[in-house]
Chains A and B, each alone.
Chain A
Amino acid sequence: MHESYDWRADVRTRLAGANLAAEDESDVVEEIGQHLEQQFAELAPRIGAAAAREQLLAHLRDETFEDAAAGKRRRARPSRARVWSSSSLLRDVRHGARSLRRSPATAIAGSAALALGIGLTATMFSIIYGLLIKGLPFDEPSRIAVVKFIDPRQPGVDALVTLGDFAQYRTQQRSFETLGAYASATVNVSGGDRADRVEAARVTGGVLETAGVPPALGRTFGAADADPAAPPAVLLSHSLWRDRFAANPQIVGSSMRVNGLARTIIGVMPPKYEFPYNTRLWLPFQENTAALAVGQGPSVNLVGRLRPAATYDNANAEFAGLAKRFATARPTMNTHMRMVVLPFVRASINPRVYTLLYAMLVAVLLVLLVACANVANLLLDRAAHRTREIGIRTALGASRLAIVRQSLVESGILAAVAAIAGVALAQLGIVLFNRAVPPSSMPLFWMDIRLHPAVLMFAIAVAAVASIVSGLAPAIQSARLDINAILKDESHAASSLRAGRLSRTIVIAEIAVSSAILLASGFITRGIVNLRNIDPGFTTDGILTARMTLATNDSVRQRTFFETLERDLAAHPGITGVYVGNGLPGSGWSPRHLTLEGRAYPRENDHPVVSSLAVTPGFFSTFGVRVTRGRPIDATDHNGSTSVAVVSESFVRRHFRDGDPIGKRIRIGSAQSAPWLTIVGVIPTLVSASFNDPRPAEVLTSFWQEPRFDTGALAVTGNAEASSAATLRKIVASIDPEIPLYATESMTDLMRQPMRFFQIFATLFIVFGVVALVLSSIGLYAVMTFSVSRRVREMGIRLALGATSGNVIRMVFRQAAWQVGIGMAIGFLAGSGLVRVIGAALFQVRPSDPIVTILVAAVLGGTALLACLVPARRATRVDPVMALRTE
């Protein structure tokens, strides 16, 4: 048997000066050692052990051997491409998944935090997408536009465009492929078993062509239908056809009564088609449109489809030019009015709602940021526990890039799991939102809130960004570790990393973001509560209301109807109070121009705007409104007697600041023909259910002194049986079966309605705030726990030297208080900015309201206190002897 040699030792000695990375060196030693061993085993029997050994050692001594080491050394610094190659990435994913499995708490907490963030973000985005971005469900919806005449000084108050204006614009413009005009109206349809109120649109040619949807049955309007002499036609929506005509396929050609006039049904539109707004029935404008001059004809809205080549900029420039030319034809129009062309959806949604929705998206992105911060903290924590592993890997030649990548891969795995859970959460959120805001309750028929592919893409993009945001800070931090320090003393390096500036900064950022969101949700909640608790100035309890529109144009017959109605209602047993008028307080005020006697108004828009309501004497008793000066409207104020008005205190403040309004004369409207009204009394300000102006200047006029009575509202009080919708309907039908009673609602519900939309969003905001609060307090808890556990020895020494547990608790709290304090200060500054954006005016709260600020600070402080309590108590329970023995 031949002697054996340790060839490995020889190889290692030979490589001593080569300065190879440890991992590579052991590879080379093993491989070449084996080789030599095998060669020796073959060679020795032939030439003798000593000669064989000498020969092989000579090979090893050859200077070309240095090249082997050089080849390996290059490999120790892998190229960038190699670090990101798919096979090594896969290895990192496996390694990451394995190491996350070993600490399931981190994995679950991290993914859960991100899932919450991604879920909220995706829910919010699906709402924005379905409502604002996706557009109308027609071909190339971005080309569908509306034309508006706006007053830049009074956003939201559009000037009227008449059918005559439209005729001129249509013939002269080049931007639109189709351009039409429509006027929305609510019509009575009757015939058959019952009368109904239906939302309708009177349209010119061009409106239905803009959507470009063919009818499901029959035809749509042609040029002949617009002829004033043509037989009256009507086009039905699918829902009306289904509800009123039992989806009769033979319906085309038969007739129905609309506002008392018999019309021929020419077609039925497909399901869910309600263009332009919530329309269930279409009528043609039967006017000689082309003959109308600028400023003539009924007022209309313009809608059309831009030519493929036309941009909004071009169209706006063209219409601004046309408007300037037509302005000379309307001298009463203010010159600062502007004609604008806007995308349909953008123009259809209140700009405040637009701002609110995007502000909410920003808010959820902030919540997501808090979640990312939490994950970053968790990964930092892992990095701290793994400092030795990372130190060794770095020492063995792992490049910083590889370590950064490992950390990013881990956050990527967390984010991928979170994306799946987050999409599921978003689906839940969407279901809940759709339940709270049923599409049928919104007049926006295109609203379609689902997990659209675009929403999924958004969720994936958000998850990807979140994984980078949460993985990058810990990654860079780990790569920057001082290897020597780590290998010498793990705990020191770990705590210097963990309790380091980065981790504290993250917690401060988390607290800042959650206090900003909490402050915003606090203010919004306060606003909603304020609106709910506001004293409307009149009674709302136990009042049933309803509205109706008369079919007849004959003012004598209209008056007779309402007089009969008031008398019959009052005579009905069980009904104690009866009000009839042209609208209801709260929601029914109509904005009108005001003319004060003795004042000149050179231009139409110089008139101030007031809110008016024509009421019967029953108004004051039914709604419990008392005059503070003068007298209410009473039975003497009927037609023929002097026209009177009762004004509100807000009206007096605005228009009779110095002086008694009683006996002064005003005119409602700017027309010279409107009668002068003598002010006979003053009432307290009644709240209007409007977010823009909840306390408008109000004028009550006498219903019986009105010239016409097209629409009416009624309100009754009394016992439950008498003041029920069924009773009211029966009484109305007994007077005129052609008149449908609609919107039968309690006054309380009616006042709450406009708030519902905002309540839903306030609720969402509160959810965001609470999630952010929970996430950031978990973050604070984690940081404090870690910092306490790192200072066990210090606590032990302090306790041994006679510190009380109170001292120790104070010490822990003092450390936390800094972070919470700085975070809250930053957050409150940012939060009041956020409140300003979502519009303090929207909710009638001043962002300086101290109560909300104090409350939010208390909630945050309390939660932070709770998050520190456990670690602080743990610190006091440190056994000095055990603590000193650690390590």
Chain B
Amino acid sequence: MLTDELKKGSAEFLVLSLLEAEARHGYELQKLIESRSKGVLSFNVASLYPLLYRMEDRGWIAGRWVEKTGERRRRFYRLTPAGRAALQAQREGWREFVTAINRVAGARYA
């Protein structure tokens, strides 16, 4: 199980990545994170929504009520241009982080 600290740091990155392709609502985000991480990562309303609202306030994502025919009104989040830039930066940082870890941790086996 990942520590809370690590989870917090990577949560924004995860949400940004998931919204990159299409707009999603909160419940969908929670389910996707859970299923794709095979249960390693999980969120509940108390951890997900503070995150979403913070990111929205920061201008990375934008929430909008959308009414689809035959479905109930839901709040969908999409990536803003600023969010896209943030995602790019985080991806870059993650890659560097992983490379660095590998250099340090993998050296023993080299």
| Contact in complex: B46, A75 (CB < 8 Å) | no
| Contact in complex: B27, A64 (CB < 8 Å) | no
* A34, B75: Cα distance in complex, Å: 10
* A67, B74: Cα distance in complex, Å: 21
Query: Given the known A-B contacts A35-B45, A62-B44, are A68 and B50 also in contact in the complex, defined by CB atoms under 8 Å?
Result: yes
Nearest Cβ distance between residue A200 and chain B, in whole angstroms? 71
| Contact in complex: A71, B45 (CB < 8 Å) | no
Nearest Cβ distance between residue A56 and chain B, in whole angstroms? 8
Chain A 51-79 interface 0/1 with B at a Cβ cutoff of 8 Å (1 = within)? 00000100111111111101110110000
| Contact in complex: B46, A64 (CB < 8 Å) | yes
Interface residue B103 (Cβ < 8 Å from any Cβ of A): no
| Contact in complex: B57, A67 (CB < 8 Å) | no
Query: Which DSSP category, helix, strand, loop or mixed, fits chain B's interface?
Result: helix
| Contact in complex: A35, B27 (CB < 8 Å) | yes
Query: Given the known A-B contacts A32-B45, A36-B45, A59-B44, are A70 and B26 also in contact in the complex, defined by CB atoms under 8 Å?
Result: no
| Contact in complex: B45, A74 (CB < 8 Å) | no
Nearest Cβ distance between residue A76 and chain B, in whole angstroms? 10
| Contact in complex: B72, A34 (CB < 8 Å) | yes
* Contacting residues of chain B (52-69) with chain A, CB-CB under 8 angstroms: 52-54, 56-57
* Contacting residues of chain B (12-58) with chain A, CB-CB under 8 angstroms: 26-27, 30, 44-47, 49-50, 52-54, 56-57
| Contact in complex: B75, A59 (CB < 8 Å) | no
Query: Given the known A-B contacts A31-B26, A31-B75, are A71 and B46 also in contact in the complex, defined by CB atoms under 8 Å?
Result: no
* A671, B73: Cα distance in complex, Å: 103
* A133, B71: Cα distance in complex, Å: 66
B44 CB contacts on chain A under 8 angstroms: 56, 59, 62
Query: Given the known A-B contacts A71-B56, A74-B57, A75-B53, are A65 and B27 also in contact in the complex, defined by CB atoms under 8 Å?
Result: no
Query: Given the known A-B contacts A34-B74, A74-B57, A75-B57, are A60 and B45 also in contact in the complex, defined by CB atoms under 8 Å?
Result: yes
| Contact in complex: B57, A71 (CB < 8 Å) | yes
Residue of A nearest to B29 (CB): A35
| Contact in complex: B56, A75 (CB < 8 Å) | yes
B47 CB contacts on chain A under 8 angstroms: 62, 64
Nearest Cβ distance between residue B4 and chain A, in whole angstroms? 10
Nearest Cβ distance between residue B78 and chain A, in whole angstroms? 13
Residue of A nearest to B54 (CB): A71
Nearest Cβ distance between residue A657 and chain B, in whole angstroms? 88
Nearest Cβ distance between residue B12 and chain A, in whole angstroms? 13
Report how many A-B pairs have Cβ atoms within 8 Å. Answer: 64
A328 CB contacts on chain B under 8 angstroms: none
Nearest Cβ distance between residue A62 and chain B, in whole angstroms? 4
Interface residue A27 (Cβ < 8 Å from any Cβ of B): yes
* A600, B89: Cα distance in complex, Å: 97
Nearest Cβ distance between residue B32 and chain A, in whole angstroms? 14
* A72, B55: Cα distance in complex, Å: 11
Query: Which DSSP category, helix, strand, loop or mixed, fits chain A's interface?
Result: helix
Nearest Cβ distance between residue B13 and chain A, in whole angstroms? 18
Interface residue A38 (Cβ < 8 Å from any Cβ of B): yes
Nearest Cβ distance between residue A39 and chain B, in whole angstroms? 7
| Contact in complex: A64, B57 (CB < 8 Å) | no
Q: Number of A interface residues, CB 8 Å?
A: 26
B50 CB contacts on chain A under 8 angstroms: 64-68, 70-71
Q: Number of B interface residues, CB 8 Å?
A: 18
B53 CB contacts on chain A under 8 angstroms: 67-68, 71-72, 75
Query: Given the known A-B contacts A35-B27, A75-B57, are A65 and B74 also in contact in the complex, defined by CB atoms under 8 Å?
Result: no
* A755, B88: Cα distance in complex, Å: 77
Residue of A nearest to B55 (CB): A71
* Contacting residues of chain A (145-177) with chain B, CB-CB under 8 angstroms: none
* A527, B57: Cα distance in complex, Å: 69
Nearest Cβ distance between residue A26 and chain B, in whole angstroms? 11
* A65, B45: Cα distance in complex, Å: 7
* A68, B57: Cα distance in complex, Å: 11
Out of B26, B46, B56, B72, which one reaches A59, CB within 8 Å? B46
* A68, B49: Cα distance in complex, Å: 6
Residue of B nearest to A55 (CB): B44
Chain A 17-43 interface 0/1 with B at a Cβ cutoff of 8 Å (1 = within)? 000000000011011101110110000
Out of B26, B54, B56, B73, which one reaches A35, CB within 8 Å? B26
Residue of A nearest to B43 (CB): A59
Residue of A nearest to B74 (CB): A34
B45 CB contacts on chain A under 8 angstroms: 32, 35-36, 39, 56, 59-60, 65, 68
Residue of B nearest to A62 (CB): B46
* A28, B26: Cα distance in complex, Å: 11
Chain A 470-511 interface 0/1 with B at a Cβ cutoff of 8 Å (1 = within)? 000000000000000000000000000000000000000000
| Contact in complex: B75, A67 (CB < 8 Å) | no
Nearest Cβ distance between residue B88 and chain A, in whole angstroms? 22
Nearest Cβ distance between residue B45 and chain A, in whole angstroms? 5
* Most A C-beta atoms less than 10 A away, residue of B53, B57, B72: B53
A70 CB contacts on chain B under 8 angstroms: 50
* A74, B72: Cα distance in complex, Å: 28
* A67, B75: Cα distance in complex, Å: 19
Nearest Cβ distance between residue A166 and chain B, in whole angstroms? 69
B26 CB contacts on chain A under 8 angstroms: 31-32, 35
A32 CB contacts on chain B under 8 angstroms: 26, 45, 49
| Contact in complex: A65, B75 (CB < 8 Å) | no
* A27, B75: Cα distance in complex, Å: 9
A39 CB contacts on chain B under 8 angstroms: 27, 30, 45
* A28, B56: Cα distance in complex, Å: 13
27 contacts between A and B (CB under 8 A): A27-B75, A28-B49, A30-B75, A31-B75, A32-B45, A34-B72, A34-B74, A35-B27, A35-B45, A35-B49, A36-B45, A39-B45, A56-B44, A56-B45, A60-B45, A62-B44, A64-B46, A66-B50, A67-B50, A67-B54, A68-B45, A68-B49, A68-B50, A68-B53, A72-B53, A75-B53, A75-B57
A residues at B contact (CB < 8 Å): 27-28, 30-32, 34-36, 38-39, 56, 59-68, 70-72, 74-75
B residues at A contact (CB < 8 Å): 26-27, 30, 44-47, 49-50, 52-54, 56-57, 72-75
Beyond the given A68-B53, A71-B49, please list 8 additional residue pairs across the A-B interface where CB-CB is below 8 A.
Answer: A34-B72, A35-B49, A39-B45, A59-B45, A59-B46, A60-B45, A68-B49, A71-B54
Question: What 8 A-B pairs come out closest when comparing CB atoms?
Answer: A71-B53, A67-B50, A62-B46, A59-B44, A65-B46, A68-B49, A68-B50, A31-B75
